[in-house]
Amino acid sequence: MKRFYLVLLLTVFALPSVFGQLQFGIKGGIVSASTSLDEQIDISEQLQDELEQPDLEQLKMKAQDAKVGFQAGFFGRISLAALYVQPELMFTSTSSRVKVSEVYTNGIDSTYSTIKDQEFKRIDIPIMVGWKFGPARLQAGPVGTIMLDQKSALEAFGDYKEEFNGATWGYQVGLGLDLFNTLTLDAKYEGSLSKLGESVTIGGNNYDINNRPNQFVVTVGLFF
């Protein structure tokens, strides 16, 4: 995926300006991120023995409220009349809350729950295609994500570990507004086309999960 996006970006930026207006700029803003995580893993007797927790019956993970992060980077825009293509290269720092619960059956059922943060630092590469209506814009396109660093909500639990993908695909849709030929505003929703996390390791055993991210992005940009 990294090679594909590199070729695509070079192709877009290398288009001669004779085909349209070519602009560059910087942008930054806030990101409200969450995940779709809602999993329940039953602990077998064999795994209970390996964990030395004979009363542990289940491990539950459920996404909580979204948290606000930030992103900043560069963008380019090629305009062909009302149509435009806008590739972006953005550094994004986000986090989301996850409720981790251990369910025990030691005569009297008991559940111990902790809310932890998942933290991510990544490179986002959206390729937006849009249509301009005066200063307003409609836009949509794919986004590739390359993970730089992550902190799992399970990090505080010694025998648990969540595995994250190093690269994922998603999509963005949204609205934009250009002002004074120098300022650009964007509000976008980002959904996922691939999993952020696919498995959880408990006591050396892997269990499949479905952890997909989504986020709202609001940015302000400045053309050079």
Q: What is the mean pLDDT of the chain?
A: 82
79, pLDDT greater than 60 = yes
34, pLDDT greater than 50 = yes
What's the token pair of residue 203? Answer: 């006591």
pLDDT digit string, tens, across residues 120-168: 899 999 999 999 999 999 999 999 999 898 887 777 666 777 777 788 8
For 188-209, give the secondary structure using H, E and C.
EEEEECCCCEEEEEECCEEEEE
Helix/strand/coil for 99:
strand
pLDDT digit string, tens, across residues 51-62: 777 777 778 888
Q: What is the mean pLDDT of residues 77-97?
A: 92
pLDDT at 75: 96
Measured in residues, the chain has a length of 224
What's the token pair of residue 137? Answer: 């814009």
109, pLDDT greater than 80 = no
pLDDT at 7: 55
Q: Please state the pTM of the whole predicted model.
A: 0.78
Q: What is the mean pLDDT of residues 177-183?
A: 92
125: domain CATH number is 2.40.160.20
Q: What is the mean pLDDT of residues 200-216?
A: 77
Q: What is the mean pLDDT of residues 53-79?
A: 86
96 CB-near residues (< 8 Å, 6+ apart): 33, 34, 35, 63, 64, 66, 67, 117, 118, 213
Q: Which of the four pLDDT bands, split at 50, 70 and 90, describes residue 116?
A: confident
Q: Tell me the residue range of the domain where 64 lies.
A: 2-223
Least confidently predicted of 31-35, 68-72, 133-137, 171-175 = 31-35
46 CB-near residues (< 8 Å, 6+ apart): none
Q: Within 10 A of 63 (CB to CB), how many other CB atoms are there?
A: 21
195 CB-near residues (< 8 Å, 6+ apart): 165, 168, 210, 211, 212
Please, are residues 148 and 123 in contact by the beta-carbon 8 Å criterion? yes
Domain count, the chain: 1
